[in-house]
Structure 1
Amino acid sequence: MKLLVLGGTKNLGRHVVEAALASGHEVTLFNRGRTNPELFPSVRRLVGERAAPGVLATGEWDGVIDMSGFLVRAVSLSASVLRDRCGFYTFMSSIAVYASKTTAGMTEYADLLPWPEGAPEDEFTMDLYGPSKVRCESLLTATFGDRTAAVRSGFVVGPYNPDFGNWGWALAHGLPMECAARPDQPIQYIDARDLAAFLLHLTISRSSGPYNAVGPTHTMTDLADTWRSAVPTRPPVNWHPTEDHFHLPHDGTNDGTFQLTNTRALTAGLHLRPPIETARDYITWVHNGNVPPAPPH
């Protein structure tokens, strides 16, 4: 297939492009050309801004995978150009779209966040992150109908990705693991490679609608024990570090966000590797001289 990836040179986007190329697809990248421009030298590149996507009018693609859709205005502009130039549009959304942060077992059809009255569509703030993803999903559905999918994920773990990077770094260097979240905090994450494969699968199969692309729920204690078992000598866990890498409230007001139901995604073809495999691969990646990137926000 001819695939257009919006972004594609950092974090999860790298895995998407790697998976697409490994499967023999013809990939085009659209980004600003500033992040890791040396990657994928054989791939066609379109350089431009999301706010001025006119260069996208020069081609047609079987599928689009949008890894850089944060601003509502920018996503709207890209969608308007690509509406009649692609067969299917897969949007990387977020578990931050849900109105309730405490309800366990939410499906993709739980209530979503409203758009704040008067909020700007061309500015990014963390307060608008969830509402912006909701608004982008809505406008893409209005534009593409059943030719679009929204993939909602939270913590994405693996090489090139910052989430849980402090654990991988600590275990690779024989240091104590740090976790400022409470030990019984429920948590869901997904391996970046599994998520990339799912994004590609949905695009190829043209499977529309929203999907909770998350793994099973663990407690932080159980997950930490799994990661610690990936090395010969298990280090201790510091539950009261000076730096908080997770930013999760201790009062349970965000627990429901990490107890989502993933049945629809599993039925659609999401495959999840066990956490121990993710941990071992991350540690190996660090041992090979790599440094986990800093969180984006």
Structure 2
Amino acid sequence: MPAGDREIDMWKLRDIISPFYAWKRAFEKPFTIRKPLVEREGPPLYRGFHTNDLGKCIGCGSCEEICQNAAIDMRRAAGIEPAHGDSGLRPVIDYGRCCWCALCVDICPTTSLAMSNRYNWISETGEDWVFTPGIDDGGWNEDELGYRRAECAWLLDPSEQKMPVIAPDERRKNFEEMALGYGGDEAVKEAVRCLDCGLCIEACPTHMDVPSYIRAIRDGDLDEGLRLLYDTNPFSESCGRICTAKCQDACALGHLGEPIMIRWLKRYITDNTLDRRHAVLGT
């Protein structure tokens, strides 16, 4: 038989045998999952769709600020009113932008924001992907599994810089001010803890722009810090010592850590601009 005919016969034989190979697979254990949306649960610490404990959330906006993809907006939520230490805003997440990095969870000062281990969500409506955790019902807000920030893990230092003071044996001998005030390094270390959330502005009776003058300390621009202080409070030097510090009561870091020592930072600015105050303020 010519070689070409033998090759044709081999192809015909393969056509006859091939279906039997396919049917053989029908009796083997399948590799696919019949119901992947039901049977394949995410790992316990998987970073899936967000949850938000509304009882803990204070609307500080630190999650919005840290998001690298601009996937989070702070918006008014129905039934939640602004209050002392609570802006009344809640995070809204655009899952078309979110990359599931969990920085928003890591920065949250109250640990209200977390991530479930759910990763499957099907919808034909694009608007559904703009989601308000804790308010919109995705079916996972009460889930205990998923990614959480441990209370001992902070992106920012939760502890205040302690104010240097005169030793008790020394201060009992005189009437000098016992609190010595922050030095430059101490003030900057305290200032870098600030989240810039602005909850302190509402709490201050004169609504001082606290985040801005703290930012001036970080930038080393005490003259600008002094101008910001006296824009709204002509008694800033006194308030740096005896203020009731309602702003510190509202500080976002104070929920699980120690609040920013705003009063001491105010004092740091006024103490270190005494020699040029009139020139800076134009008085």
**TM-score of the two chains, using structure 1 as the length reference:** 0.26
The structure in which a higher percent of residues are strand is 1
Q: Please say which structure displays the higher CA radius of gyration.
A: 2
**TM-score of the two chains, using structure 2 as the length reference:** 0.27
